[in-house]
A and B are shown apart, each in its own frame.
Chain A
Amino acid sequence: DGGITQSPKYLFRKEGQNVTLSCEQNLNHDAMYWYRQDPGQGLRLIYYSQIVNDFQKGDIAEGYSVSREKKESFPLTVTSAQKNPTAFYLCASSGTSGRDEQFFGPGTRLTVL
């Protein structure tokens, strides 16, 4: 089955700790994305990557970092510099035609205590 997996589904961390969220896809998509969802604010783009070893900041990149060493993997690190890290994080992938729909993973709920 082709799809996107995110792990874990729920994650708890202490304040001040970095945490890495996993995102893997087997759809052979070149483009991958990370979004954050907060109540009443829809989906906000954190980072996106259109090709391996390249990525761009989205609208709310501060306090986050990513890597794209493999086509199928796009991990997101939430650093201690992120002031409000508690949120629902969604990873997505798509083709690069500009008109391709994005396929989303099931999400990771991060809670920082």
Chain B
Amino acid sequence: DQQVKQNSPSLSVQEGRISILNCDYTNSMFDYFLWYKKYPAEGPTFLISISSIKDKNEDGRFTVFLNKSAKHLSLHIVPSQPGDSAVYFCAASAGGYQKVTFGTGTKLQVIP
């Protein structure tokens, strides 16, 4: 039972354009969401997070939007750069517990 879903396994975007990565979740108890970025043969690195009390969080070129009623969040990268090419994982946790559930990942390719 996949509680965190990333339905697009891959995405290609031209350099300079906006990249939008989507994530859906089914567990209504999730109240904290994170995005991680992963290069091949390396561990993921934290990118940005959002609490369920917010609907938007920005950090430089990265913005995460949360739509609680739709149980959907998205990560916007603008402008996209070739160095953004990586696999992006959405993750969620509930009730302040450290256990997080990860999505299956979306591979982003930014074309120069």
The answer to whether A106 and B42 touch across the interface, beta carbons within 8 angstroms, is yes
Known: A42-B102, A98-B95. 16 other contacts (CB 8 A): A31-B98, A33-B98, A40-B9, A42-B105, A43-B89, A43-B102, A45-B99, A94-B98, A96-B98, A99-B49, A102-B100, A103-B46, A106-B41, A107-B42, A107-B43, A109-B41
Task: Tell whether B32 is near chain A: CB-to-CB under 8 Å.
Answer: yes
The answer to whether B51 and A104 touch across the interface, beta carbons within 8 angstroms, is no
- Kindly supply a per-residue 1/0 record for chain A positions 81-109, scoring 1 wherever the CB is within 8 Å of any chain B CB and 0 otherwise: 00000000011101011111111111101
Min C-beta distance of A97 to chain B, whole Å: 8
Min C-beta distance of B101 to chain A, whole Å: 8
Task: Tell whether B34 is near chain A: CB-to-CB under 8 Å.
Answer: yes
- Kindly supply a per-residue 1/0 record for chain B positions 80-107, scoring 1 wherever the CB is within 8 Å of any chain A CB and 0 otherwise: 0000000001000101111111111100
Q: Select from chain B the residue with minimum beta-carbon distance to A98.
A: B96
**Which size class do B's interface residues fall under?**
20 to 34
Min C-beta distance of A60 to chain B, whole Å: 12
Chain A residues near B101 (CB-CB < 8 A): 45
Residues of B with Cβ closer than 8 Å to A? 4, 6, 9, 32, 34, 36, 41-46, 49, 51, 89, 93, 95-105
- Kindly supply a per-residue 1/0 record for chain A positions 1-29, scoring 1 wherever the CB is within 8 Å of any chain B CB and 0 otherwise: 00010000000000000000000000000
Tally of contact residues, A, Cβ under 8 A: 30
Q: Select from chain B the residue with minimum beta-carbon distance to A101.
A: B46
Assuming the contacts A40-B104, A41-B104, A42-B104, asked whether A104 and B96 have C-beta atoms less than 8 A apart, the reply is no
The answer to whether A100 and B98 touch across the interface, beta carbons within 8 angstroms, is yes
Chain A residues near B9 (CB-CB < 8 A): 40
CA distance A91 to B95 in the complex (A): 23
Task: Please list the 10 inter-chain residue pairs (A to B) with the smallest Cβ-Cβ separation, ordered nearest first.
Answer: A104-B43, A98-B96, A101-B46, A42-B104, A43-B102, A42-B102, A31-B98, A104-B44, A105-B43, A42-B105
Task: Tell whether A50 is near chain B: CB-to-CB under 8 Å.
Answer: yes
Task: Tell whether A74 is near chain B: CB-to-CB under 8 Å.
Answer: no
CA distance A59 to B49 in the complex (A): 23
Chain A residues near B43 (CB-CB < 8 A): 4, 90-92, 104-107
